[in-house]
């Protein structure tokens, strides 16, 4: 993996963490149950993506 690819992966991980934090803040700010449910589902999607990215990074680190 090149340095550029590693930096891209780190950026993607950080972006997912930011999105998850924003979703968690937004969930508590909605009075509408449907909106909260929608944001919770989006948060789960981003948590899943974060796990995948971190797993991929760990897998690549084990190869080095």
Q: Where are the alpha helices (DSSP H) in 1-64?
A: 3-29, 33-63
The pLDDT value recorded for residue 40 is 96
Torsion on CA atoms 55, 61, 62, 64, rounded to nearest 10: 160
What tens digit of pLDDT does each residue of 17-51 get?
999 999 999 998 988 999 999 999 999 999 999 99
The pLDDT value recorded for residue 61 is 77
Q: Is the pLDDT of residue 2 over 90?
A: no
The pLDDT value recorded for residue 53 is 95
* CA 58 vs CA 8, 13, 39, 54: distances in Å: 15, 12, 28, 6
The pLDDT value recorded for residue 17 is 98
| pTM of full prediction above 0.75 | yes
């Amino acid at each position: 993996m090149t340095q550029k690819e590693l930096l891209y992966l780190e950026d993607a991980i950080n972006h997912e963490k930011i999105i998850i934090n924003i979703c968690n803040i937004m969930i508590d700010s909605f009075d509408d149950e449907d909106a909260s449910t929608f944001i919770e589902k989006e948060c789960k999607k981003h948590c899943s993506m974060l796990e995948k990215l971190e797993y991929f990074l760990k897998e690549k680190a084990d190869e080095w």
